[in-house]
Amino acid sequence: MAAPLTPLQGIRVVELAGLAPGQFTTWIMTIAQFHWPSNILEIGPFAGLMLSDYGASVVRIDRPHPRAHSQSKAPPAPTLDALTRHKTSISLDLKNPASKAVLLSLLSKADVLIDPYRPGVLEKLGLCPTTVLLKHNPRLIVARMTGFRRDGKYKDMAGHDINYIAVSGVLSLLGREGEKPYPPGNILGDFAGGGAVCFQGILLALLARQTTGKGQVVNANMVDGSAYLATFPRLARQTPMWDRPRGTNVLDGGCPYYDTYETKDKGNYFAVGALEPQFYAELLRGLNLEDKDLFPPGSNQARQDPDNWPYMRSVFEKRFKEKTRNEWAAVFDGTDACATPVLTMDELEKEGYDQRPVVGLSGTPGLGIASDNGGWSGGGIHPGSGGEETLKNWLGWHRGKDFDVHNGALVKVKVDGAKL
């Protein structure tokens, strides 16, 4: 039985990696010993990962390595980038015209180029999207991702997820009452506001190309991406839902029936989201509480009144500590109380809870994530891994006839002006 078509089958993507300025590369190598990834190594590969998970052919361009593409030596160590599922790699030296010619040949057949670096890097390499790349291939979509906007106050500054969501206004929303803003890992800026938003931009450009027949430049940045994701709290600031200081609103930890509670087995927690009256009633039923138990004497007994929230929270805190997390799970499983255990990544991995593509499509499904042990391990690609097969599939090229290897990088055979 033939495998089903994937939604991006036939789409060819070139993903740039390892082309950052020298001082940044040095910094990456310095922190590598501590196993700290850089956001620059995340946002582009994450967009490429989403494309590859839905069937696009994604080839990653890595830096030259003495053992890359070697037929006699062990392959290079895997890259620090863990987001390499379903991808292939070739090593290029873009300072060498014969190696740069390989990239241009790929781009002549590509649909998408992912550029994850700070403004000006492609231009310094002689690969300006508008004056070079789109003239070379008018159907090419050049997806450019930055942290800050390409215009404005911060455009020439370095930064990380925390900085991008800080200037977007989103970080100011996150944290407990009376405490400093709390960064949510690097999920909101790097991945959601960066890589995933860029993926959407690429899909929009592919749709537009069906009408216009032309590619274009997709400019994505994590400031605008994360700010757009925060559209609801931005607009809700003028409503009772989010018109109070950080940590005192309905959805940011202020409301006692939309919060987390430690259970009897210390270090474990239960999440409660019983906003609607019918769900709130189910929550009280499971906790064996009555309405009157939740309010101090003489109060108006209105659960929506923030003045009552501290007392209500104290009652919930005391009650949840009477049972373990699993005991509460047994109480609330199958109910509409909007009460669930806070499961850890370690638990989910141990239980074999597999990761799946971000959306399921019945007719043209994604490729799945079995190759990464259900999404719990994997990543890192050997520079040069599978890349020559990609050259054969895209261009019909063969080693020795159309390209060769020079100093750990692929070079095109017979290129005018090339000095090997």
**Mean per-residue pLDDT, 27-46:** 49
Q: Provide the pLDDT for residue 256.
A: 98
With beta carbons less than 8 A apart as the criterion, state whether 28 and 38 touch: yes
Residues 225 and 330 in one domain: no
Q: Provide the pLDDT for residue 22.
A: 31
DSSP 134-187: HHH-TT-EEEEEESS-SSSTTTT----HHHHHHHTTSGGG-S-TTS-----TTI
DSSP at 375: G
**What total number of domains does the chain contain?**
2
Q: What is the pLDDT of residues 188-223, one digit of tens each?
A: 999 999 999 999 999 999 999 999 999 999 999 999
**Mean per-residue pLDDT, 11-35:** 54
DSSP 249-262: STTTT-STTEEEEE
Phi and psi at 30, nearest 5°, equal -65, -45
Which structure tokens are listed for 239?
Answer: 């409503």
Residues 64 and 198 in one domain: yes
Residues 22 and 68 in one domain: yes
Residues 110 and 183 in one domain: yes
Residues 90 and 216 in one domain: yes
What average pLDDT does the structure give for the chain? Answer: 90
State what percent of residues in the chain have pLDDT above 90: 80
Which structure tokens are listed for 57?
Answer: 């052919």
Q: Provide the pLDDT for residue 307.
A: 95
**Mean per-residue pLDDT, 282-288:** 98
Q: Provide the pLDDT for residue 352.
A: 86
- The answer on pLDDT for 286 being more than 70 is yes
- The answer on pLDDT for 416 being more than 70 is no
Comparing 22-31, 295-304, 394-403, which segment has the lowest mean pLDDT? 22-31
Q: Provide the pLDDT for residue 33.
A: 41
Domain that holds residue 294: 258-262+269-341
d(CA 241, CA 249): 6
Which structure tokens are listed for 251?
Answer: 């959805």
pLDDT range class, residue 20, cuts 50, 70, 90: very low
Sheet hosting strand 88-91, strand order edge to edge: 88-91, 57-62, 12-16, 112-115, 141-146, 217-221
CATH number, domain of 308, equals: 3.30.1540.10
Residues 37 and 161 in one domain: yes
CATH number, domain of 75, equals: 3.40.50.10540
* Three-class secondary structure of residue 240 per DSSP: coil
pLDDT range class, residue 29, cuts 50, 70, 90: very low
Residues 211 and 277 in one domain: no
**Mean per-residue pLDDT, 234-254:** 96
pLDDT range class, residue 42, cuts 50, 70, 90: low
User: Is 56 among the domain residues?
Assistant: yes
pLDDT range class, residue 387, cuts 50, 70, 90: very high
- The residues that are catalytic are 190
Q: What is the pLDDT of residues 103-143, one digit of tens each?
A: 999 999 999 999 988 888 899 999 999 999 999 999 999 99
Q: Which residue has the higher pLDDT, 36 or 357?
A: 357
Q: What is the pTM of this model?
A: 0.91
Residues 369 and 316 in one domain: no
pLDDT range class, residue 40, cuts 50, 70, 90: very low
- The answer on pLDDT for 186 being more than 60 is yes
Residues 284 and 357 in one domain: no
- The answer on pLDDT for 279 being more than 80 is yes
d(CA 63, CA 382): 11
Last residue of a domain, one of 308, 341, 374: 341
Q: Which residue has the higher pLDDT, 332 or 352?
A: 332
* Strand partners for 221: 146
The residues near 317 (Cβ < 8 Å, ≥ 6 apart) are 261, 262
Phi and psi at 109, nearest 5°, equal -110, 0
Last residue of a domain, one of 280, 315, 341: 341
